Amino acid sequence: MIIELTDKEKTRPLYEEAFDDPKVFVDYYYEEKCLDNRIIVSLEDGKIVSMLHLNPYKMNMCRSVVQSYYIVAVATTENERHKGHMSRVFEKTFELLQKEHIPFVFLLPVDESIYSWMGFEKICDFSEEKETDYNRIKSQNDVYCIRDEAYLRRMKREDELRKLGSGEVLPDNPVIMAKITDLEAFNKAAGTDFTDEKNALSWLREKKIYICEEV
């Protein structure tokens, strides 16, 4: 059974099984990021066997403000892998996001091939050097995350954890991949008239994109 979970703390054992992030970072993640994120899970006999997290971000997309989600914490417990759980979790997620008219979602993959068959494509490199001047980000980029009060609070805490060597563990040469989840909503925000998701992603890839967010 695939559901959107409300008791998010129940996913922590799977998170800790699947990822090597320091405990202090996981504490921060579940105390702060799980305040407003969404978690889609696969249940077998009432047990969480697979999950993904949707972390919300308001995005500037060529002067339009859109709701998007950063897909993180994609994981399946070891003894339930290769049984189709994750495929079904993604299918349910895409169904939900299309109904909500979310134009696109993005993620930072360990391996691009894991997600490319689902329609995700690389749109930019992940910006490991974080720009602190928000006005510069706005003036030099077409697509970027909007920095509101909650964003700034979390960015400060994540920077502190990183300086202590307790930040999230990132893959080598990280990139950002995206998928169109509602082409009509994408066209409305972008002022385009694409009839194909690949063409829309090609258009997006040509824009100046700044994404430095880790989770």
Mean pLDDT calculated for residue range 109-123: 96
Q: Are 22 and 166 in contact (CB under 8 A)?
A: yes
Model confidence at 33, pLDDT cuts 50, 70, 90, reads: very high
- Residue 83: burial class (beta carbons within 10 Å; 0-12, 13-18, 19+): middle
Q: CA 182, CA 24: separation in Å to the nearest integer?
A: 36
The more confident residue out of 43 and 164 is 43
* Predicted pLDDT of residue 25: 95
Residue 137 has pLDDT above 90, yes or no: yes
CB-CB contact of 203 with 194 (8 Å): yes
Residues in the chain: 215
pLDDT value for 48: 98
* Cα–Cα distance measured from residue 180 to residue 98, given in angstroms and rounded to the nearest whole number: 9
CA distances (Å), origin 111, targets 114, 116, 167, 170, 210: 6, 9, 20, 12, 20
109 touches 175 (CB < 8 A): yes
Give kind and range of the element (H or E) at residue 137: helix 134-140
Looking at residue 103, its amino acid is P
Q: Per-residue pLDDT for 169 more than 80?
A: no
Answer yes or no: are the C-beta atoms of 14 and 52 closer than 8 Å: no
Partnered with residue 121 across adjacent β-strands are 178
Residue 166 has pLDDT above 90, yes or no: no
Q: Is 32 exposed, middle or buried (0-12, 13-18, 19+ CB in 10 A)?
A: middle
The least confident of 90-104, 120-134, 165-179 is: 165-179
Residue 129 has pLDDT above 90, yes or no: no
Average pLDDT over residues 108-130: 94
What would the mean pLDDT of 14-29 be, rounded to a whole number?
96
Q: Tell me how far apart the alpha carbons of residues 83 and 87 are, in angstroms, rounded to a whole number.
A: 9
pLDDT score of 179 more than 90: yes
Q: For residues 60 and 142, give the distance between their C-alpha atoms in angstroms, rounded to a whole number.
A: 7
